[in-house]
Chain A
Amino acid sequence: MVMSRFAYSALIAIALTHALPAQARPVSIALVGDSLANDLGNGMEDIFAGRPDIHVIKRTQFATGLVRTDYFNWDATVDNALKHGDANILVVVLGGNDHQPIRVNGRRLDPLSDAWRAEYSRRVSRFMKTVKQSRAKLYWVGLPDVRSEKLANGYRVMNRIFRQQAAKNGFTYIDIWNKFHTPDGAYSSFGKSLEGVSRRIRQEDGMHFTEPGRKLFANYIARSIGLR
């Protein structure tokens, strides 16, 4: 779940290339973030496949987040990409890989400790301020519930941070925590697809989405931002 500097520099080039579409379209949605953002981007591409007026741009990088800035610095990447971007809607999904210690000046901050929360809040705020340079309408998608109880506990805390910082920094926060739950409120790998039948919606890892799940995810976000 880490990224090295080689791919980091290359990604900036890719991000810049893809941030420069040949011509602007009426709606251009940029998905920024980790593999969950990529899932959302793939889902959006699927559900908007017949809509030439909606353009989906994925600026995603697997195994990244706001904790391991030594491997991948989202602030720098987004800062560069936004200067050249033309998206009018920007959706961020980040944090899935961040349930781990933060190292600050040689000090290790244990996940979810008070010091960790303060530092993580600071990083989220800094990232949001960078993204705010964009003239796009800004959305921050919270993390979904996952199978691992340990991760889920961490995600709950992180979602509270995202919600607080979103309110302070002009983002609209979209809560998806319980959108894929069973009727009795538990995590499930299965759920009703857009076709209305039971499907596997989460992958074997208990986190990422399958194709029906990605469409479901994308559909919910599209509704939340007024595109469906």
Chain B
Amino acid sequence: MLFPTPQFAIFFFVVFCAAWLLRTRTEPRKLLLLAASYFFYGYWDWRFMALLAGSSLFNYGAGLAVAASNNEVTRYRLVALATAANLGLLGLFKYYNFFIDSLTDLTLALGIQRDMPFLEIILPIGISFFTFQGISYVVDVYRRQIKPVTSPIDLALYISFFPQLVAGPIVRASHFLPQLEKTPVLTRTAVTFGFLLILNGIFKKTVVAHYLATDLIDPLFAAPEQASSLDLIAGHYAYVVQVYCDFSAYSDIAIGAAALLGYRFRKNFDRPFGTTSLQQFWQRWHISLSTWLRDYVYRPLRGDKRDAGWRMYRNIFLTMLIGGLWHGANWTFVIWGAIHGSALIVERAAKNRWHDWRLARTRLNSLGAAAVTGHATPAPMATFAAAFAGWFITFHLFALAGVFFRSPELGTALDYFGAMFAFQGSAQLLTPFLVLLIIGSVAVHFGPGNVIDRLAERMRDWPAAALGLLLGLGLLLTQAIGPQGVAPFIYFQF
């Protein structure tokens, strides 16, 4: 069931009404939301409902077992076992055949012809998200950051809650579980906020992402060798806008839908194209995954040791490599992760040196300036130039690496770059409308943040009819200007 469809609208309307009828009855409300979430998941493929339930039950048991032990060695072993089991499940469904296929490539390259044991398995939708949630829950219990839930219903609902089930954001137990125990309150601000977010998400997905995908990106990546360099250059910019509008739209609708049911999810994107460094970028792009990787990959890799030198660089690289592989079982994602890992290392090393140099220079200047004026001032042009250079490098690195991210195979990415850097041909697919969509979508990232929160606050006192009319018209307008049909969200595949 895709979000921007009549099926989801009907489903959500029914759940919304039933959930608010049960607002004071906590346990029946949880059961209702759990049943709705399993219906939502089973709508794609009912066979995987047992997998989802099994994963939830396993992590429920693991959380209780970890918490029950006071022996640190036992606790460590239990959490390691639970993590390995979660990763094993993900590995089996997502990476096993990739590993076997890569092994076959290797054996063929060595001149050995040997049949490998492939498994005919389908990738369950959302598995990357719900296994990560399971891991974070058990690890948080191990770290004593949260107490284990006593009811399996609570954990099953946390993992399967339908707004975030198939494509995130990766909600943390410590943030979500306490909300389940409170009586939800439906405020006018929350309703307006939820509807505005959903409207914003539907616009980004069905208008911006859809036009860019169908008119430019899909034809380009289908046969990059046939396209002109100008189209391909525009296409690699367009793709980062598409993936942003697609994925942030899913997050917006998820956060909006949760808000309408009385739950608050954290922001998953915060104007990432306005950032001036890669480090800043990853703090504002897919925030729930970045923070997950920081807390459950980077920090365990770092351990108790000091975060500096080659060890820090290695940990950054490995974290990004794992982040890349999380997106899919394909060498293109490994390369994408390696590019970002390497770039972050270069940026961190350059920043350290730059920082040392500027510190020394500022001290010298301060001494001189203080002697004349009493204080030192930075040069505004130099600050602007540095910020622009930082933005330019960050944006272009993300866009160039995005070619690997979008390409179904390594060969497609190489063809894409080959034709793009041939600097031949004139634009055949690019139109002023598409240019406007790309530039406009990037430009809004330089505006103020929390626009929707503030707008919701301002519209709080509007009459319900006016609010409903505005939102209804917004939906109709989006429907009218967007292309027909709804493409699946990009992050479903992960």
A residues engaging B (CB < 8 A)? 1-4, 6-7, 10-11, 13-14, 17-18, 35, 38, 58, 60-63, 70-71, 147, 188-190, 195-200, 203-204, 206, 210-211
* Docked pose: A210 CA to B411 CA in angstroms: 12
B residues engaging A (CB < 8 A)? 97, 101, 104, 107-108, 113-116, 118, 120, 122-123, 211, 214-216, 218-219, 222-223, 226, 408-409, 411, 428-429, 431, 433-434, 483-485, 487, 493
Known: A2-B483, A7-B214, A188-B120. A196 touches B222 (CB 8 A): no
* Docked pose: A70 CA to B484 CA in angstroms: 10
Min C-beta distance of A156 to chain B, whole Å: 21
Known: A38-B222, A58-B223, A204-B493. A7 touches B215 (CB 8 A): yes
Min C-beta distance of B205 to chain A, whole Å: 14
Min C-beta distance of B112 to chain A, whole Å: 9
CB neighbours (8 Å) of A196 from chain B are 113
Min C-beta distance of B143 to chain A, whole Å: 35
Min C-beta distance of B372 to chain A, whole Å: 61
Which 8 pairs between the two chains have the least Cβ-Cβ distance? A2-B485, A190-B118, A198-B115, A6-B215, A7-B215, A10-B429, A4-B483, A62-B222
Q: In the complex the two chains form, is A195's CB within 8 Å of B113's CB?
A: yes
CB neighbours (8 Å) of A204 from chain B are 123, 493
Known: A7-B219, A200-B118. A1 touches B428 (CB 8 A): no
Min C-beta distance of B465 to chain A, whole Å: 33
CB neighbours (8 Å) of A70 from chain B are 484
CB neighbours (8 Å) of A18 from chain B are 226
* Docked pose: A62 CA to B213 CA in angstroms: 11
Min C-beta distance of A84 to chain B, whole Å: 16
Q: In the complex the two chains form, is B113's CB within 8 Å of A14's CB?
A: no
Q: In the complex the two chains form, is B104's CB within 8 Å of A198's CB?
A: yes
Across the interface, name the chain B residue whose C-beta is closest to A147.
Answer: B122
Q: In the complex the two chains form, is A58's CB within 8 Å of B226's CB?
A: yes
- 20 more contacts with CB within 8 A, not counting A14-B226, A63-B218, are A2-B483, A2-B485, A6-B433, A14-B428, A60-B223, A62-B222, A70-B484, A147-B122, A189-B97, A189-B120, A190-B120, A196-B113, A197-B108, A197-B116, A198-B118, A199-B101, A199-B104, A204-B123, A210-B409, A211-B409
Partner of B214, one of A63, A199, A206: A63
Min C-beta distance of B489 to chain A, whole Å: 14
* Docked pose: A38 CA to B409 CA in angstroms: 14
CB neighbours (8 Å) of B484 from chain A are 2, 70-71
Q: In the complex the two chains form, is A195's CB within 8 Å of B108's CB?
A: yes
* Docked pose: A199 CA to B103 CA in angstroms: 10
* Docked pose: A203 CA to B218 CA in angstroms: 17
